[in-house]
């Protein structure tokens, strides 16, 4: 059922250039453009008594994926999730931790960043989608895989792991392909938030780090 995206791996700089070129070339030739926007609910849990730093690189903060049409009867897609990504993780992390601090730059030696307990670096590792023209099933679906790094202010690694997210919506509730893809993306983002909130402290490296802290006994999250 999956329909792999040729442009779904968006971390390499050349893919941004490719997407930009195709956007310009196909703007008048049936490219469907979607900007994902939504409000996300605050998590209901006891915040971890930690100060978490967060760093969004440009690829994440401006995340988009581009899928070039394979034939004249199909449309190309350009879907921007960057704004929604930032809004989701800002809302989620603010509810999960006592304090959340945005870093001045990527953690590393010599970088003038605030001192925090740890810094989270999120990334979209992969994205795939399927629409009725791909599957002949009247369902729109989006699969996402995140990669997270938890590091010290100086950039030393604490933990690294991946996490899936999934969203789908039936066409019966939508008036357009664009609207259906937008809603599927929102559902996938909410799934990502719920998954992160309930599994963060269960990641083995994260759990070991929490247990090593002086206040480890007070760091249990209640979903």
Pairing of strands 97-102, 48-54: parallel
Residue ranges of domains in the chain, CATH in brackets: 13-214 (3.30.160.150)
Chain segment 3-23, per-residue pLDDT in tens: 333 334 444 444 444 444 444
pLDDT exceeds cutoff 50 at 160:
yes
Residue 143 or 171, more confident: 143
Report the pLDDT value the prediction gives residue 69, as an integer from 0 to 100. Answer: 64
Give the model's confidence band at 163: pLDDT under 50 very low, under 70 low, under 90 confident, else very high. Answer: very high
- For 93-118, letters b (16+ CB in 10 Å) and e give bbbbbeebbebeeebeeeeebeebbb
Provide the percentage of residues in the chain whose pLDDT is more than 90.
41
Which helix (H) or strand (E) segment holds residue 179: the answer is: helix 177-199
Chain segment 80-111, per-residue pLDDT in tens: 888 888 999 999 999 999 999 999 899 988 88
Question: Is the C-alpha dihedral spanning 24, 27, 28, 29 positive or negative?
Answer: positive
Which helix (H) or strand (E) segment holds residue 36: the answer is: none
């Amino acid at each position: 059922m999956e329909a792999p995206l040729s442009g779904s791996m968006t971390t390499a700089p050349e893919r941004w250039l490719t997407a930009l070129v195709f956007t310009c070339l196909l703007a008048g030739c049936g490219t469907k453009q979607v900007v994902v926007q939504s409000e996300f609910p605050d998590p209901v849990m006891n915040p971890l008594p930690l100060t978490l730093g967060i760093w969004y690189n440009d690829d994440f903060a401006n995340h988009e994926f581009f899928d070039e049409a394979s034939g004249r009867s199909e449309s190309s897609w350009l879907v921007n999730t960057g704004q929604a990504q930032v809004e989701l993780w800002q809302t989620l992390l603010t509810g999960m931790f006592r304090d959340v601090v945005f870093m001045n730059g990527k953690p590393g030696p010599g970088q003038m960043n605030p001192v925090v307990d740890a810094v989270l670096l999120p990334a979209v590792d992969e994205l795939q989608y399927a629409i009725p023209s791909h599957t002949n099933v009247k369902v729109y679906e989006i699969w996402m895989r995140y990669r997270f790094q938890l590091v010290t202010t100086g950039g030393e690694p604490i933990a690294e792991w991946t996490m899936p997210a999934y969203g789908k919506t039936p066409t019966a509730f939508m008036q357009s392909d664009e609207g259906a893809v937008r809603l599927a993306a929102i559902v996938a983002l909410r799934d990502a938030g719920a998954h992160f909130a309930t599994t963060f402290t269960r990641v083995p490296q994260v759990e070991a780090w929490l247990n090593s802290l002086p206040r480890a006994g007070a760091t249990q999250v209640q979903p």
